Structure 1
Amino acid sequence: MPESKPRKKTARAAESVSATQANKPNAVWFKPVMFGLMIIGLLWIITFYISEGKLPVGDWGSWNIVAGFGIAIMGFLMTTRWRS
């Protein structure tokens, strides 16, 4: 009875290495920065409304809302890369 050829194990080894790298947790600084950006963006917008447009940057006017949302959105985009 003929014997089958043995399979190459190099492909499996490469897959297991890439799988372990994909499941690697984030750096320690990742979560504080992610939540910090979301909170700073929220506080930026709240400060703008409470100060009636005078703060955080008076010359920007309504662009302060865009800046606040931009900062918060950067934090929310970081959640797509978050691994625990």
Structure 2
Amino acid sequence: MPKSRVRKKDDYTPPASATAVKISSGRSWVAPLMLAFFLIGLVWIVTYYVTSGSWPIASWGNWNILAGFGFIAAGFGVSTQWK
């Protein structure tokens, strides 16, 4: 049986004018804002429980828990903008 020809491809050489491309998302504000919302929400809820409801806003009562979770949810909302 005859042997098939071996075909060798040329090795790839990148073009000489190739330059490095810097990818910048321009969203450097997302991570700090997300972490800030998470921490504010956590501190809000912990403060409410530690002070037995007299802080941060006494007249809100148990709605303070919802406010804390609202900050945490806002952090998750901001995190969708992170690239």
Which TM bucket (shorter chain)? Answer: 0.5 to 0.7
Scaled by the length of structure 1, the TM-score of the pair is 0.66
Identity %: 41
**Matched pairs, number:** 61
More helix per residue: 1 or 2?
A: 1
User: Cα RMSD (Å) of the superposition?
Assistant: 1.5
1:5-49 per-position Cα deviation (integer Å, ceiling 9, x unaligned): xxxxxxxxxxxxxxxxxx862422221111100110011000000
Deviant stretches of 4+, over 3 Å: none
In structure 2, how many angstroms separate the alpha carbons of the residues matched to 1:34 and 1:26? 16
- Residue 74 in 1 paired to residue 74 in 2? yes
Match for residue 52 of structure 1?
A: 52
Is the CA contact 1:37–1:72 (under 8 Å) kept in the aligned structure 2? yes
Gapped runs of 5+ residues in structure 2? 1-22
Is the CA contact 1:41–1:68 (under 8 Å) kept in the aligned structure 2? yes
Larger radius of gyration: 2
Gapped runs of 5+ residues in structure 1? 1-22
Scaled by the length of structure 2, the TM-score of the pair is 0.67
